[in-house]
Amino acid sequence: MPIYEYQCDECGLRDEKLWPKISTAKDTIECSSCGAQMRKIISPANFSFPHTPVGGARPQNTGVHAIDYSFDKVIGEDSARKWKDIESRNAVKDATIREERKAGRLVKREHLVPKLDGSGEYRVITEPERKHANEGRTTAFEIAKAAKGSGDKKDG
Ligand SMILES: [Zn+2]
């Protein structure tokens, strides 16, 4: 029987619910704490190991996968909050990506930068910005290299 994990949008409560079949599992359920909607946050592929992470400790992944939700039960509430942040940021990014793709632009998450207006929204990095960012990296590297070089031959 599949077990799905849910998280409340309002109060952050996490809960698990057992469903008789995958097809009966709802995407949202009512939060037992505040009555708001809880969203399903674990994929049905993971129903066979709902309570404990398999295979011992694993390195944290930068992506959010269902296994991480099992994992962060072990590493605690801070992590749960962090993953929730990542998840919500990724949701915003993915919405932006969908909009861009509708407009015919093939955009990936790494092309998105946060807007500076505090809205929490993302926009696509521009070509000059990307070029500048790459130049920035090159420059920092070359500065470091030059500094090291000049230190080596100070007496020259
Ligand atoms: Zn709640």
Whole-model pTM: value is 0.36
Element (H, E) at 122: strand 122-124
pLDDT in tens, 63-105: 444 555 555 555 567 777 777 888 888 888 888 888 888 888 8
Q: Which two tokens stand for residue 59?
A: 């390195």
CA–centroid distance, 81 to ligand 1, in Å, is: 14
Is 57 within a domain?
Answer: no
Asked if residue 51 is part of any domain, the answer here is no
Mark whether 121 and 82 lie in a shared domain.
Answer: yes
Ligand 1 centroid to residue 8 C-alpha, Å: 5
Q: 87 and 29 share a domain? A: no
Tell me if 100 is assigned to some domain.
Answer: yes
Distance between CA atoms of residues 122 and 88, nearest Å: 12
Same structural domain, 36 and 92 = no
pLDDT tens per residue across all 156 residues of the chain: 788 889 998 898 888 888 888 888 899 999 988 999 999 986 544 444 444 444 444 444 444 445 555 555 555 677 777 778 888 888 888 888 888 888 888 888 878 888 888 888 888 888 888 777 777 666 666 777 777 766 555 554
**What's the number of domains the chain is made of?**
2
Residue 81 falls within a domain, yes or no? Answer: yes
The CA 20 to ligand 1 mean position distance, Å, reads 24
Residue 99 Cα, ligand 1 centroid: separation in angstroms? 30
Could you tell me the distance, in angstroms and rounded to a whole number, from the CA of residue 119 to the centre of ligand 1? Answer: 24
Residues contacting 42, CB < 8 A, separation 6+: 3, 4, 5, 50, 66, 69, 70
**Domain carrying residue 38:** 1-42
Report how far ligand 1's centroid is from the alpha carbon of 37 (Å): 7
Q: CATH code at 28?
A: 2.20.28
Distance 51 CA to ligand 1 centre (A): 21
